[in-house]
Amino acid sequence: DMHSKVRVYGRFQIPPFSRPTKLRSAIRMGLKLDRAGLIPQSVLIDHGASVIRMIHLAVRAGARKIILVGVDLLNSPYFFEEDPSFLLQIGAPKFSRTPESGNHGTVERRPGSESVANFLSQLRIVLLEDTGVQLMAMRPSQALNGIMPEFSG
Q: What is the pTM of this model?
A: 0.75
pLDDT tens digit sequence for 17-61: 778 889 899 999 999 999 999 988 888 988 878 899 999 999 999
Identify whether the C-beta of residue 21 lies closer than 8 Å to the C-beta of residue 122: no
Average pLDDT for residues 88-116, to the nearest whole number? 60
Calculate the average pLDDT of the chain. Answer: 80
Identify whether the C-beta of residue 109 lies closer than 8 Å to the C-beta of residue 122: no
Query: Which of the four pLDDT bands, split at 50, 70 and 90, describes residue 78?
Result: low
- Whole-angstrom distance, CA of residue 50 vs CA of residue 119: 13
**Res 146: pLDDT:** 83
- Whole-angstrom distance, CA of residue 108 vs CA of residue 18: 13
Helices 50-60, 116-131: axis angle to 10 degrees equals 10
